[in-house]
Amino acid sequence: MKTIIEPFKIKSVEPIRFTTIAERREILQKAHHNPFLIHAEDVMIDLLTDSGTSAMSARQWAGIMDGDESYAGSRSYYRFEKAVRELTGLTHIIPVHQGRAAEKILFTLVGGKGKRIPSNTHFDTTRANIEYSGAEAVDLLNEVGKHPHQRADFKGDIDLAALDAFLVKERREHVPLCMITVTNNSGGGQPVSMANLRGARDVTKKHGIPLFLDACRFAENAYFIKLREPGYANRSVVEIAREMFSYVDGCTMSAKKDALVNMGGFLALNDGALAVQARNLLIVTEGFPTYGGLAGRDLEAIAQGLEEVVQEDYLRYRIRSVEYLAEKLLSAGVPIVEPPGGHAIYLDAKDFLPHVPPHEYPGQAVACALYVEGGVRSVEIGSVMFGKYGAGGSLISPPMELVRLAIPRRVYTQSHIDYVAEVVIEAHRHRMEMRGFRIVEEAPMLRHFTAKFAPL
């Protein structure tokens, strides 16, 4: 059979509220043209993020009932710890309420003024936590990863020569660790190869620098390695994931991604002394080390989710449904980052709206248009999210202006995806009528969440 069906059936449904184009125009205006400020009820297909939006399985819901809510030494913690340890091979497993809490703890301990932290590409919360500590976040993405229309198997790879050169130049005490994001969320959801992880391990080891994974989408990355990297076709996804983790000294994880839950995360470390400090900070900011900002039931659901996310029928469907949307868009001439990533389609807003320059936020214009056209919510990943102001107050733009259509896990069916394709293609047909935006209000950090816009 050619059709890859959803490897689940649906036991519980949530209604979608239908709206008209006129209603959506008004809703968007009230939300100051920022999709983050739209009420979720007013969204028909929500592709804002794949974070915390997964549908849990019946077994995970059973785990929710079964969770042990003891303050200290909960059985659910030990099940969670075992699941994470078996997957990662890392020693100290510290639960937190979400990924950025792990980042906050880690970079409070190892960051600070004068420190520089290299990565393939830091995710926005990672960058924010590094910068908040006073340190500098440095992206060293491979050249091919910077070209949205150049196809390559592992566009998330870190530039190993640049990493080596960086570590030769920097004093060792200024670089507390190197971080590799799998898959590379801000760079198009592109995977990192095993060869690159091994190479990064060798380079960092040579310089005596610990290597960490931002492991949010480890299972999707592992599946791409299985599909694309020679020598891995006959290895199981779990084995591949274990090999990925075998090259690192620690990881941060948002369980809201590849643990198929709505809330949770962890920090995992081999360094015992650092783990002691991390747990001390955890007690101040999150909670006791056997729950860390989560309920016992959340820990149960994470442990179960980590087992389900590496199942190959799930990953085949997952990766294929994203690729299916990409094929439909490409055949209609819509510019996207190629090849499509694991969790999302990234529209290339520079190509989509060549008449809107970066300082007029073309990605924001496309995201707003998709909402009005069909009630589809997406997010700008470009000058709104990553723009900085230079000395003269002029905008310094990132290399790409993207709009992300993130696909929640196990939530939408093929007909929902078909509908999304129609909406994007229709918006693309009207692209010459779209205009840019200016920002009328913004926060000093992570401004994309709350900024208010006015159309130009």
Ligand X SMILES: *Cc1c(COP(=O)(O)O)cnc(C)c1O
Interface residues toward ligand X, by CB under 6 A: 51, 98-100, 123, 125-126, 181, 185, 214, 216, 254, 256-257, 265
CB 45 within 8 A of CB 377: yes
Write phi, then psi, for 282 (nearest 5 degrees).
Answer: -55, -40
Strands 395-396 and 402-406: unpaired
**Which CB sits closer to ligand X, 126 or 321?**
126
Output the smallest distance, CB 98 to ligand X, in A.
3
Going by the DSSP 8-state scheme, the letter that residue 303 receives in this structure is H
Question: In angstroms, what is the minimal distance from the CB of 377 to ligand X?
Answer: 17
Which lies closer to ligand X via its Cβ, residue 118 or residue 358? 118
- Which residues make beta-bridge pairs with 137? 117
Give the DSSP H or E segment for 376. strand 376-377
Give me the least distance between CB of 155 and ligand X, in Å please: 15
State how far the Cα of 196 lies from the Cα of 150, in Å rounded to an integer.
Answer: 19
Residue 100 or 279: which CB sits closer to ligand X? 100
* Distance of closest approach, residue 90 Cβ to ligand X, in angstroms: 17
CA-to-CA distance for 30 and 38, rounded, in angstroms? 8
Min separation Cβ 51 and ligand X, Å: 5
Q: Count of residues for the chain?
A: 456
Q: Which is nearer to ligand X, 265 or 374 (CB)?
A: 265
The SS3 call for residue 65 is: helix
C-beta of 189 vs 374, nearer to ligand X: 189
Which C-beta is closer to ligand X: that of 295 or that of 439?
295
Minimum Å gap between C-beta 217 and ligand X is: 7
- N-term to C-term CA, the chain: 50
For the bound state, the minimum distance from the C-beta of residue 357 to ligand X, rounded and expressed in Å, comes to 28
> Residue 213 or 439: which CB sits closer to ligand X?
213
Residue nearest to ligand X (CB): 99
Q: What is the DSSP string of 91-142?
A: SEEEEESSHHHHHHHHHHHH--TT-EEEES---HHHHHHHHHTT-EEEE-B-
